[in-house]
Amino acid sequence: APRLRDELAALGARVTVAACDAADRDALAALLAEHPVDAVVHTAGLLDDGLIEALTPERFAEVLRAKAVAARHLDELTRDRELSAFVLFSSFAGAIGSPGQANYAAANAYLDTLAERRRAEGLPATSVAWGPWAQDGMAAGGGLEEYLRRRGLTGLDPDLALVAMERLASGDDPAAVVARVDWARFAPAFAAARTTALLTGIREAQEALEDAASGAGADALRARLAGLDAEARTAALVELVREQAAVVLGHARIDAVDPTRAFREAGFDSLTAVELRNRLGAATGLHLPATLVFDYPAPADVARHLDSELAGPGGTGAGSGVVAELDRLAQTLAAEARTGGEAHQEITERLRNLLALWTGTDPHTDDGTDALESASDDEMFDLIDKELGIS
């Protein structure tokens, strides 16, 4: 507060700093009666992260008190004033539902809704859902800034953020998101943890999801592992687990992650365990349980589990490259079916010949070929599932 006061005073403003709990309605009313205002900027916030099952009513209420309750009081106690602006500092967490921040997300979502309601009633209001700020934001310090950057959220330059706020406050939108997002990092992990349509309208996010869905990274890993012997394959997977664990914990080097040290001892909790699961799932193309790091308590244990899973159907054993190609073929056929392509007969003939080559049968015998020629798209996909091992 002293630094801000001095900066404002240097610009010619008269500054009065008054300590008040805005969530205390009576105290806030007394302050507003003593110091009339013509603009409101609500920046208060409190973090108390944890999984929903660990959030007690008291923990939830405390976070809502700082954000939502204070905002409601400011709204109610200034409605009789001609305000030039009513700006609420919301959060990216409220817009997208940040893991481990259910209370904080709910509090900020309330601010966004309050701004929309005020605008609908003809009152000024702008809710800005901020991503992390660099230097002095709530994410600064304690390694959190680096942790968020690795997840794809880069700190906003404060000067640029203030320019954005000024434009939004004088604009027509009651609520907006201002964040620097590396979608290639953020979108795949975000989508892996939940089914959501929130990213549908963001072109960069969709491109990142499409790239991830193509399985290019997982296919490259499988191909690399397929050329290694058992010992080298395990070593490569241990390195992968250590790399991803280092990212989740915010370490700059994988040397900080001991392959035999338990995840709990290394600092993992329920939130970071789920994030590591998501990252390893994206890297390997495997569907991994949320309890992965508890079922396999050290990086070396997880690596052995990944090796076992990858060596299963569609894994890194013999034929894995063929299975990957069949996966891509299935995606292409699905797209062809959706667009109603005119090459149905030719595709059917090619599939029949490939199946005959694989099974060592005559493609022109009548043991099912008539059914294949007249098969619908759904029946063809069912055939691929059953005969070629795609699921």
Q: Over the range 125-162, which residues count as b (16 or more CB within 10 Å of their CB) and which as e? A: bbbbbbbbbbeebbbeeeeebbbbbbbbbbbbeeeebe
**180-181/153-154 β-pairing:** antiparallel
Look up tokens 């989508």; give the residue: 191
In the chain, CATH 1.10.1200.10 sits at 216-310
Angle at 216 between CA 212 and CA 221, to 5 degrees: 115
The distance of Cα 66 from the centroid of its chain, to the nearest Å, equals 25
Residues 103, 334: Cα–Cα separation, whole Å: 41
92 CB neighbour count, 10 Å cutoff: 20
Superfamily holding 216-310 = ACP-like (1.10.1200.10)
Angle at 93 between CA 92 and CA 94, to 5 degrees: 90
Residues 286, 302: Cα–Cα separation, whole Å: 13
Distance spanning both ends of the chain, measured CA to CA: 60
In the chain, CATH 3.40.50.720 sits at 2-181
Q: Is residue 104 within 8 Å of residue 98, measured between CB atoms?
A: yes
Domain 2-181 is in which class? alpha beta
Helix (H) or strand (E) holding 91: strand 85-91
**Total-model pTM:** 0.60
pLDDT digits (tens, 9 = 90+) for 100-151: 788 999 999 999 999 999 999 999 999 999 998 886 655 555 556 766 777 7
Question: Strands of 175-178's sheet, edge to edge?
Answer: 39-42, 85-91, 126-130, 175-178
pLDDT digits (tens, 9 = 90+) for 266-309: 989 887 888 899 889 888 888 888 889 999 999 999 999 999 88
From first to last of its 391 residues, the chain has per-residue pLDDT tens of: 788 888 888 998 888 888 899 999 999 999 999 988 999 999 998 988 887 888 899 999 999 999 999 999 999 999 999 999 999 999 998 888 777 788 999 999 999 999 999 999 999 999 999 998 886 655 555 556 766 777 788 889 999 999 999 999 888 999 999 999 988 878 877 776 666 677 777 888 888 777 766 666 677 788 888 888 889 999 999 999 998 898 888 776 788 899 999 999 998 988 788 889 988 988 888 888 888 999 999 999 999 999 988 876 544 444 444 555 666 677 667 666 655 566 777 788 888 878 877 777 765 555 555 555 566 666 655 655 555 444 4
